[in-house]
């Protein structure tokens, strides 16, 4: 697999699988926590023209066009500090461990189920996504598929392509058999996030009654949108004429639609999935389509991608529409997603991880695994000229070696100065105790007198302030000490 580098002001260099430069001149790429020109790699794509204007002054950009880590060049595995990727490559724990200096992964799109975010956090790698760029496109595609199932446009087109005639009423009835009226039908949406809400509003305009199930959505959203919330997934499946999936994929909802949940759906209901292929058990769906329990299904995402009708359990399933995971795509959405992904990488390079990131999806895992959420100014070592490590030396792989128990030992060694990086600890004076004010003496009063309000007795400092008490200090008196700026980590 060839590796292409694009560097402003230099000829583009092409590295072959043997690591030797084939064309152009390319200086060696250095890597380190303080180095100003880190390596950023687009793992599963070839076009960096959108990302380059955003990253060219802070990073060296390369693209790999790989479908697995076996195809990624060794230089990227050893030196890349940031990785951009689409949905066509999967990064498991074993894959992530191959990257020696990786600090951030940005998924160009909303879904991130192709990255093990927990393992990434334990290895000190932040994972981000771009959740809002393809909402309109995905919602439009979802509604197109829903309308197609109800009006059977795809099957009518296919019948005409095969030479079917529809000149009489009987022939029309035969070709268009199964087409249904939309108004009055109930659309059930599983997951009322950005896309789910956009689909709901579009469906209402066509006459659908819309219900939804989302246990994570705060109460009250349904009233503002004019929708009806279902308390359980079973309630939604029972009351829906068409079910549309708009939730992310995780270990808890894999095969959410399976043989058991399909039997809870209305007889002859439709199913649409533009979210994630792993949400649907395709073997159970194929059986339900053949038996007629589900009248029709439309899938833009599949358990195995790229999808092929010639293989898999759906190859003989009737009344099925499949598209190749393209519901997110438009030219505008693609450019917006790539720009935002590049900006996220730039924030990581010029700022702090994860504090400077906008859409870090494994921040909680990252903070728990590293046990080092941030470094206060008082803990910055003077030999670093005011710069701090985003990930302290020796702490990145501690979870893989000894778990959180090992992390505590490393943190303790960092505090006590016994870690091998050779930096001595900085001692700071303890916080002074608050000043002791003289205790006021209570005035005597008769025992039969009503209780009175305690009055404030001024302290000696209030009655006789020192001469400089009200002195307003100059800006130079309170300004923090100037620290030499250092290159970003």
| 198 and 288 housed in the same domain | yes
Residue 303 and residue 269 in one domain: yes
Structure tokens given for 98: 């191959």
Divide the 489 residues of the chain into consecutive groups of 10 and give the mean pLDDT of each group: 44 38 34 67 96 95 95 95 96 97 96 95 95 96 98 95 91 93 98 98 98 94 94 98 97 96 98 98 98 98 93 95 97 97 95 92 87 41 34 33 39 37 42 55 51 53 51 47 41
| Partners of 186 in the β-ladder | 209
Query: 218 and 365 in one domain?
Result: no
Residue 109 and residue 82 in one domain: yes
Number of folded domains in the chain?
2
Q: DSSP character for 298?
A: E
- Per the domain annotation, does 480 fall within a domain? no
Do 245 and 343 lie in a common domain?
no
Handedness of CA 475, 480, 481, 484 (dihedral sign): negative
The verdict on 350 and 297 lying in the same domain is no
Of residues 351, 354, 349, the one with CA closest to residue 372 = 354
Domain boundary among 298, 327, 356: 327
- pLDDT confidence of residue 434: 58
Is 91 a member of any domain?
A: yes
Output the CA angle 480-482-483, nearest 5 degrees: 120
Are 152 and 237 in a shared domain?
yes
Edge-to-edge order in the sheet of strand 242-245:
228-229, 209-213, 186-190, 242-245, 269-273, 294-299, 320-322
Does residue 174 lie in a domain region?
yes
- Containing 210, the helix (H) or strand (E) segment is strand 209-213
Angle at 64 between CA 75 and CA 365, to 5 degrees: 80
For residue 14, what are the contacts with CB-CB under 8 A and spacing of at least 6? 2, 3, 4, 5, 21, 22, 23, 24
**pLDDT value of position 260:** 98
pLDDT, position 395: 31
Residue 261 pLDDT: 98
Cβ partners under 8 Å of residue 105, min gap 6: 82, 83, 84, 85, 91, 115, 120, 125, 126, 127, 128
In a domain, 319, yes or no: yes
Q: Do 280 and 343 fall into the same domain?
A: no
Q: Say what the pTM is.
A: 0.70
Kindly list the catalytic residues: 276, 305, 325
Domain co-membership, 95 together with 156? no
Spell 286-306 as b/e; 16+ CB within 10 A means b.
bbbbeeebbbbbbbbbbbeee
Structural domain span for residue 187: 135-327
Q: What is the DSSP letter of 280?
A: B
CATH no. for residue 300? 3.40.50.720
pLDDT of 331: 97
Please check whether residues 92 and 147 belong to one and the same domain: no
108 plus 251 within the same structural domain: no
* Boundary residue ending a domain (311, 346, 370): 370
User: Same domain for 203 and 303?
Assistant: yes
Let me know: does 197 contact 135? Beta carbons within 8 Å.
no
Q: Tell me which residue has tokens 């490393």.
A: 410
């Amino acid at each position: 697999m060839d590796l292409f580098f694009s560097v402003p002001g230099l000829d583009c260099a092409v590295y072959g699988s043997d690591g030797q430069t084939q064309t152009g001149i390319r200086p060696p790429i250095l890597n380190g926590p303080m180095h100003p020109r880190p390596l950023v790699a687009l793992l599963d794509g070839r076009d960096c023209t959108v990302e380059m204007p955003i990253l060219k002054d802070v990073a060296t950009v390369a693209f790999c066009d790989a479908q697995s880590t076996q195809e990624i060049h060794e230089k990227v595995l050893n030196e890349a500090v940031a990785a951009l990727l689409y949905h066509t490559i999967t990064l498991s724990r074993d894959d992530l461990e191959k990257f020696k200096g990786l600090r951030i992964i940005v998924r160009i799109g909303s879904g991130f189920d192709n990255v093990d975010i927990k393992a990434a956090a334990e290895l000190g790698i932040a994972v981000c996504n771009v959740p809002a760029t393809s909402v309109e496109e995905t919602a439009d595609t979802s509604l197109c598929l829903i309308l197609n199932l109800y009006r059977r446009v795809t099957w009518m087109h296919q019948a005409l392509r095969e030479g079917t005639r529809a000149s009489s009423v009987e022939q029309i009835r035969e070709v268009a058999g199964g087409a249904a009226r939309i108004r009055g039908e109930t659309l059930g949406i599983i997951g009322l996030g950005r896309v789910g809400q956009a689909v709901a509003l579009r469906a209402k305009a066509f006459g659908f009654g819309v219900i939804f199930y989302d246990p994570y959505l705060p109460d009250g959203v349904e009233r503002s949108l004019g929708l009806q919330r279902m308390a359980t997934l079973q309630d939604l499946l029972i009351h829906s004429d068409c079910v549309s999936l708009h939730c992310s994929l995780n270990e808890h909802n894999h095969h959410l639609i399976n043989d058991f949940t399909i039997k809870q759906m209305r007889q002859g209901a439709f199913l649409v999935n533009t979210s994630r292929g792993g949400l649907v058990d395709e073997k159970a769906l194929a059986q339900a389509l053949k038996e007629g329990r589900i009248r029709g299904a439309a899938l833009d995402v599949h358990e195995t991608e790229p999808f092929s009708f010639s293989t898999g359990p759906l190859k003989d399933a009737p009344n099925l529409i499949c598209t190749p995971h393209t519901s997110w795509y438009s030219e505008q959405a693609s450019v917006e997603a790539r720009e935002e992904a590049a900006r996220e990488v730039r924030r990581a390079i010029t700022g702090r991880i994860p504090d400077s990131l906008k859409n870090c999806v494994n921040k909680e895992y990252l903070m728990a695994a590293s046990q080092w959420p941030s470094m206060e100014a008082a803990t910055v070592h003077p030999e670093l000229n005011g710069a701090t490590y985003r990930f302290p030396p020796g702490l990145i792989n501690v979870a893989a070696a000894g778990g959180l128990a090992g992390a505590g030992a490393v943190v303790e060694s960092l505090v006590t100065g016994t870690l091998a990086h050779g930096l001595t600890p900085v001692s700071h004076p303890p916080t002074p105790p608050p000043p002791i004010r003289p205790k006021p003496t209570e005035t005597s009063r008769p025992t039969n007198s009503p209780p009175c309000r305690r009055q404030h007795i001024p302290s000696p400092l209030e009655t006789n302030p020192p001469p400089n008490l009200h002195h307003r200090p100059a800006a130079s008196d309170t300004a923090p000490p100037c620290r030499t700026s250092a290159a970003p980590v």
